[in-house]
Amino acid sequence: MSRLNRRDACRVISAGVALGAAGFGFPHVAQRAIAAPVEAAFDIYIDSHNGNDKNDGRHPRRALRSLAALPHLSNGTKIGLHRGSKFLGGIIAPHARGILIGAYGEASAPRPFIGGALPVTNSTFAKTTGRKHIYQVRLPIAAPKGSPIFIRPYDAGAMFTGYQWNGDLRAKLAYVDTHPNSFAFEHRRDGTGVLYLHTRDGTAPTANRRAYTATTAIPVMLGDHARVSDIDTADSVHNDGSIKVGDFSVVDSCKMLRGGKHNGIGGWGCLFYECDFEETYYPQGIPTPLVIFRQKGSPTLAGAVDSWIENCRFSITKASAPFKFCSFIIHHTETGFLGNTIVRNCTFSSDGTYSVNAITGADHRGTLILGGKATNMTRVVDVGGYRSPRCDVVVDGLTVRQTKAVPGSKFMITTPQVPGSLTVRNCRFCAYGPATGPFILLTAKKRMVTTVEKNLFFVGHASANYQGKVFADTGKNKAHHTIHFLHNHISVANKRAIGAVMALSKGYVLGRIDHNRYTPKSGRGFTVNGKTTSLGLDENGAEWRAWSGTDKHSSWTDGDASAACR
């Protein structure tokens, strides 16, 4: 069983205390994470290789073989899955509190795997009446009544790439009948569904002997105060992902691959620690957040109170799906406002094919990002706090890299839209791709203080038309927004103009602007947009004298900071 060691535990507590002193609520989960479960104390053992469903499952030598043999789970039940085992189906106990799922066996063996994509017997397919190429099969769906269902069918391990999700059944079938390697799904009220397939070569599943599977189960769904550790999951049929836990739960050392619409759900006060969230393809073509926090009692996706995400990895790979966008971490609600979310030492990566956001959300009091790395994101931090009385966002020690043009890439960090503050410090922004937006976008509509200090802004793209800016705005706030710009290093490696340091509408309040360093390699370098102050730096330095009168103790020299971005 994975556990936080003493050093990590002390670090979590120390960070929590520091955050509490800074105005961020101390996460309740930081205390729970230290008390790791004892491996020998499982109540039920399951081994897909050596178990037997006729056993009682109370001892490793009397382990069950399948998840289907699990008895009713009461509060506090501890379930051990043998390392190296592969299970189909799921562990579903949304109303039980304190359920623990962990791994036992040889530590070097692979983590146990739970998959929601179950085999479909070829002989159960039937030709759809009135259709030339469609075959259908009735499937039982293991999901709570009324839950949104998201199907992924596979043909010999390859996912069907075409789909028809919306519209009436007749329109769906008309599409599938004319598109090989496509599918449609009809969800029935009795908890079953009908899957309609047009195989990639038009052959009948009853005759081609290929293996077919479809997502019909949820790998893990648990109630409050749950603990899920050291397991891998994939292919959930449910809206709420491969692993869903209730309030004040801990999910650590897990991998969540190809969730339903989402890939992981946590309630209030949850900790996700050293987890991998991966998405490779999503056929329904709609937003696919990888981890979401849901507020109890709200009909929509919702946020977290003092939730913590640490040392997690989020990635989109082989992104061939035409999804509109993906958000790795999202939290928002339509009622009230929420607490704080802390994201520490996480990595976010995309191949840059589609629009991908790292951290988005609304209606919360604060977001803190400590360390970590984001690569080829459309947006890195976009938290609005729309209905909160105040929202404070701190980004400290994050490295942002753009290595290519990313669809929809407009800005990296945006201010909240309610009264509050944005602090960006000790970060590295490294742009090698032809981005078109600013590093920081000022969108606040209420009184806001933005402090940007001790950061590196580096542009390594050689395009003459690069429009990168450090600051830009939407013109919504102006006089109520104070900007402090301190001890930053702005550098370019190309010989052409790159845009503006500050491209702001008239009326912003420039606070402390001090001890910054500007190092254009050669050529024009930087300008400060004249809409605000007519202060700038041109290639001859003619406007530098005016700008240096505002930016105290700063310097402008040749050179670049490319080494710091490697």
CB 515 within 8 A of CB 500: no
Burial call 438-462: b when 16+ CB within 10 Å, e when fewer: bbbbbbbbbebbbbbbebbbbbbbe
pLDDT at 373: 93
pLDDT at 252: 93
pLDDT in tens, 503-515: 666 666 777 877 8
Tell how far CA 414 is from the center of its chain: 17
For residue 551, what are the contacts with CB-CB under 8 A and spacing of at least 6? 485, 513, 514, 516
pLDDT at 464: 42
Count CB neighbours of 189 within 10 A.
7
Residue 286, amino acid: I
pLDDT at 335: 44
- Paired with 373 in beta bridges are 347, 399
pLDDT at 131: 96
User: Tokens in use for 303?
Assistant: 């946020």
Report d(CA 292, CA 265) in Å as an integer.
Answer: 5
- Rounded to 5 degrees, φ, ψ at 187 are -90, 125
| 318 CB-contact burial (10 Å; exposed 0-12 / middle 13-18 / buried 19+) | exposed
pLDDT at 409: 62
pLDDT at 289: 58
- Paired with 265 in beta bridges are 244, 292
pLDDT at 225: 92
CB 445 within 8 A of CB 413: no
pLDDT at 402: 82
The C-alpha angle with vertex 27 and arms to 253 and 6, in degrees rounded to 5, equals 55
For residue 427, what are the contacts with CB-CB under 8 A and spacing of at least 6? 395, 396, 397, 398, 399, 400, 455, 456
**Residue 96 CA neighbour count, 13 Å, CB half:** 20
Q: Find tokens 């030709």 and name the residue.
A: 127
Q: Which residues of the chain have pLDDT under 50?
A: 1-35, 37-38, 283-287, 295-304, 320-322, 334-337, 464-466, 495, 497-498, 522-548
pLDDT in tens, 117-154: 999 999 999 999 999 999 999 998 877 666 677 888 99
Q: Is the pTM for the entire model greater than 0.95? A: no
